[in-house]
Amino acid sequence: MQITVTVNGIPCTREVEPRLLLIHFLRDELGLTGSHWGCDTSNCGACVVWLDDTPVKSCTVLAAMADGRRVLTVEGLGRAGRLDPVQEGFAACHGLQCGFCTPGMMMTARWLLDHHPDPSAEQIRAALSGQICRCTGYENIVRSVLWASRHEAGQHGAGQHEAGQHEAAAPRAAGPGAGETRGALP
């Protein structure tokens, strides 16, 4: 079936199997590998992206369900080449170690700050409690989100992420199989 999903502001039309998961659509079809797959059962949250204005676990959303809708991934965080304060906070406060859960954590944190600009540590813990980090013991993730809440310039918010902000956010143009990413390997 053919679907069109607006990913990080760019409309992407692809022919997909009806059973294709959104996480595999993003990673394998569009080459946006920042979102990760970690559990299949909606427990770990490594795959969290926004569907329209809401964080979802993209391992349990079909790509077909995103047809005609907007998806925001970690590659689309930030604007005009500038990092989102959440991204800056994670780097400033050692909120990541292996980096695997980080994109999903940041997507949920961005949503939290859009709706609760000045959250308490307890609110942050509650917001992130559907996601798993195996490295940090969560302490520095909470501090990272607090840091971001104190460094917001008011320019961020749901729906304000513009199309094609910077190159890194753009899905790759061609479908899979062309092997065009080989040159990027170490």
Partner 1 sequence: MTGAAEDLRGTACGGSAHGGSAHGGSAHGGSAYGSLPRKEDARFIRGKGTFVDDIQLPGMLHGAILRSPLAHARIVSVDTTAAQAHPQVEAVITGQMLAERGLAWMPTLSRDVQAVLATDKVRFQGQEVAFVVARDRYSARDALELISVEYEPLPPVIDAERALDPGAPVIRDDLPGKADNHIFDWEAGDQQATDAVFAVADVVVAQDMLYPRVHPAPLETCGAVADLDPVTGKLTLWSTSQAPHAHRTMYALIAGLPEHKIRVISPDIGGGFGNKVPLYPGYLCAIAGTMLTGRPVKWVEDRSENLMSTSFARDYHMHGEIAATADGRILGLRATVLADHGAFNATAQPSKFPAGFFHIFTGSYDLQAAHCQVTAVYTTKAPGGVAYACSFRITEAVYLVERMVDLLARELGMDPAELRMKNLLRPEQFPYTGPTGWEYDSGDYPRALRLAMEMAGYDELRREQARLRERGEYIGIGLSFFTEGVGAGPRGQMDILGLGMADGADLRVYPTGKAVLGISVQTQGQGHETTFAQIVAQELGISPEDVEVVHGDTDRTPFGLGTYGSRSTPVSGAATAMVARRVRERARIVAAAMLEVAPADLEWAGRRWQVRGDPDQARSMAEIAMAAHSALELPDGVEGHLDASMVYNPPNLTFPFGAYICVVGVDPGTGEVTVRRFIAVDDCGVRINPMIVEGQVHGGLADGVGMALMQAIVYDENGNCLGGSFMDYLLPTSAECPSWELGTTVTPSPHHPLGAKGVGESATVGSPAAVVNAVLDAISPFGVRHADMPLTPANVWSAIQGRPQRTDLAVT
Q: Which of residues 15-74 bind partner 1 (CB under 8 A)?
A: 17, 19-20, 24, 27-28, 31-41, 43-44, 46, 73-74
Q: Which residues pair with 57 in a beta bridge?
A: 48
**CB 185, min distance to partner 1, A:** 7
Q: In degrees to the nearest 10, what's the CA dihedral of 70, 35, 43, 65? A: 30
Decide whether 68 or 117 has the Cβ nearer to partner 1: 117
Decide whether 30 or 68 has the Cβ nearer to partner 1: 30
Question: Which position among 6, 69, 114, 130 is part of the footprint of partner 1 (CB under 8 A)?
Answer: 130
Nearest-Å Rg of the Cα atoms of the chain is 16
Decide whether 9 or 68 has the Cβ nearer to partner 1: 9
**CB 93, min distance to partner 1, A:** 5
**CB 53, min distance to partner 1, A:** 20
Binding characters for partner 1, 85-124, by CB under 8 A (x = yes): --xx-xxxxx-xxxxxxxx--x--------------x--x
CA angle 52, 54, 15 (to 5 degrees): 45
Does 10 bind partner 1 (CB under 8 A)? Our answer is no
CA distances to 29, 83, 131 from 21, rounded to whole Å, are: 11, 28, 19
**CB 39, min distance to partner 1, A:** 4
Q: In degrees to the nearest 10, what's the CA dihedral of 26, 32, 34, 40? A: 20
Question: Which position among 12, 70, 147, 156 is part of the footprint of partner 1 (CB under 8 A)?
Answer: 147
Structure tokens of 118?
Answer: 């000045």
Positive or negative torsion for Cα 129, 132, 134, 135:
negative
